[in-house]
Amino acid sequence: MKLTLGFSPCPNDTFIFDALVNKKIDTGIYSFDYVMEDVETLNQWAFEAKLDITKLSYGSYLDLAHPYALLHSGSALGKGVGPLLVSSQPIERSELAGCRIAIPGKKTTANLLLSLAHPEAKDKTEVLFSDIEQSVLDGRFDAGLIIHESRFTYAARGLHKIMDLGDWWENEMRAAIPLGGIVIRRSLPANIAADVDRLIRESLEYSWKHYPELSPFVQENAQEMEESVMRQHINLYVNEFSTDLGPVGRHSIETLFSKAKSGGLIAGNLPENIFY
């Protein structure tokens, strides 16, 4: 059975899916026709129901929980992994209402967290996540909301941290930060969802078994990233929640959805169970 699958070229995703898509594990009756795109493109495609299985920002999943169910494996969730708001000159949080802010996408979890923390910050423009640092340095924006490997490079490029949205979430909610998850069409039978969940878990276990070796698949798709940054990326974003969300992970996601609902950021009602 062939299934379409989408994930990003970032090291955390290629590390998770390497063994699955490159047949390093036994996938049984399943084969995967995969594509790699930045997370905001995957978010947009999910609104078009383009793929059977896809990486998705939790900020987008708020509006997609009816056509897609959340898998228990493959998520990016944890502590100390949140998006950062940065600027070329020091800015106080009290000034954000008047700032032009570059964001990686309206439906990203990063923007959802910023909207919850600072609903008054409304002058936002979508910019490809890898271009946000330079856009701020060039003066096109007063501030930028950075994700992924930019967490490790912004200071060296002379940018200042205004706030860590992850720290804000952890301190306010006493919960881990849900960044991105893996979802599957609800129209597929539950047994297929369970099989895919298991295969993602086995794929990740294969990668951990061979770590600290970095496979060619991870390195070739890392967008000229230095090896040390690849490892930082994997060590930060791939953790026990990536193997299985467990009760702590599921509680964190449900908390995010509850806060988004009470903040008027979800249109309509969520399904009774967001998981498959």
Residue 222's φ and ψ, nearest 5 degrees, are -90, 15
Per DSSP bridges, beta strands 143-146 and 101-103 are parallel
3-state secondary structure of 155: coil
Residues placed in the known binding site: 55-57, 109-110
Angle value at C-alpha 250, between 241 and 41, nearest 5 degrees? 70
Residues placed in the known binding site for substrate: 55-57, 109-110
Structure tokens at 77: 């969730």
Q: Of the residues 72, 118, 148, 233, which is catalytic?
A: 148
Check residue 271 and report its DSSP letter. Answer: P
3-state secondary structure of 47: helix
Active site includes 148? yes
Residue 258's φ and ψ, nearest 5 degrees, are -65, -45
Question: How far apart (Å, rounded) are the C-alpha atoms in residues 263 and 210?
Answer: 43
Which residues are designated catalytic? 148
